[in-house]
Structure 1
Amino acid sequence: MNDQTYIGNIGKQPTFEFHEHTGRARLQFSLAINKRYQDRESGEWRDGRTLWLNVVAFGPVAENASNLGSGDPVVVIGQLADNSFTVTDDDGQSREIARTEVQAKIVTADTRKAAITVTRQPRREHTGSTTAPEPVA
């Protein structure tokens, strides 16, 4: 499957964590994609229906995007992945929970709406650290 580009705004505050055993960083957030269109009759611009996507990034991509927050305009490049699962209710009935997410290969600020400062990260060796990196000022 080919990578797709998604442009929108981060919903609620992203969650950033390091996996307890591997030390691998993980960033997860919701992305609101809102199409705008021009009403043919009035000529006014209107917001269309909002599409919400779950986004997950790992490793250096997660670490480098960990300073993004709620409402930030972002560009995400990645692939859709089906992470559906089955649950069994107390009465023994099984049902599938549909879960689709974007597995991000790139997460960056949308430079049409926000200015960015590029800071190159030094290459790090795996240390097994369970703390988040210090924010870049």
Structure 2
Amino acid sequence: MNDQTYIGNIGKKPTFEFNEHTGKARLQFSLAVNKRYQDRESGEWRDGRTLWLNVVAFGPVAENASNLSSGDPVVVIGELVDNSFTVTDDDGQSREIPRTEVRAKIVTADTRKAAITVARQPRREHTGSTTAPEPAA
């Protein structure tokens, strides 16, 4: 398990799609992660360079986070995934386009900066018996 935690603000408005063929929801957004540090000479807090991450979530995680907007403070837990791909130019030359994204397993509001309201999803029905087996006599 290579899950990491990323805390930042959503960049531009997230895109939410529902694939009718697979029946899965997909949410994608950019995440701005700023590292703050204290200047040793002045003692003042400063913002470091912004790291921009592409985040993608699927299924219930995507559906439950679909109401997020740009600027929202969020916490994302997920795994870095390499989605690099190769393109061929008009002259026949191939080149790789590097693309790394965070495959989110959890997306939630950063409660240090935002309040949340919990709306529980209805439980999914499971196949099979929901009762315990009778004890053997």
CA contact (8 A) 1:22 1:128 kept: no
Ranges in structure 2 where 5+ consecutive residues have no aligned partner: none
CA deviations on 1:41-88 (whole Å, 9 max, x unpaired) are 111111000000000000000000000010000000010000000000
Aligned-residue CA RMSD (Å): 9.6
**Kept in 2: contact 1:23–1:127 (CA 8 A):** no
Change (3 A) 1:11 1:33: same
TM-score normalised to structure 2 length = 0.88
For residues 68-116 of structure 1, give each alpha carbon's deviation from its aligned partner in whole angstroms, at most 9, with x where no partner exists. 0100000000100000000000111100000000000000000000000
Q: Unmatched 5+ residue regions in structure 1?
A: none
Determine the structure 2 residue equivalent to 1:9: 9
Answer yes or no: is the 8 Å Cα contact 1:26–1:57 preserved in 2.
yes
Q: Report how far residue 23 of structure 1 moved.
A: 1.9
Q: 1:69 to 1:130 in 2, by over 3 A?
A: farther
The 1-side partners of 2:80 and 2:40 are apart by: 33
Counterpart-to-counterpart distance in 2, 1:67 and 1:133: 42
**1:30 and 1:52 in contact (8 A); partners too:** yes
Offset at 1:126? 13
TM-score (norm 1): 0.88
Which is higher, the Rg of structure 1 or of structure 2? 2
CA–CA distance in 1 between the matches of 2:102 and 2:6? 9
Q: Which residue number corresponds to residue 126 of structure 1? A: 126
Q: Using the TM superposition, give the Cα deviation of residue 131 of structure 1 relative to its aligned residue in structure 2, in angstroms.
A: 36
Residues 9 and 73, structure 1, Cα contact 8 Å, conserved in 2: yes
Q: In the TM superposition, what is the alpha-carbon distance from 1:20 to its structure 2 partner?
A: 3.0
Equivalent residue number for residue 26 of structure 1: 26
- Determine the C-alpha separation between the residues in 1 that align with 2:84 and 2:4: 20
SS of the residue 1:5 aligns to = strand
Percent identity over the alignment is 92
Tell me the residue number matched to 1:50: 50
- What is the CA distance between 1:121 and its match in structure 2? 1.2
The answer on whether the counterparts of 1:18 and 1:132 sit within 8 Å (CA) in structure 2 is no
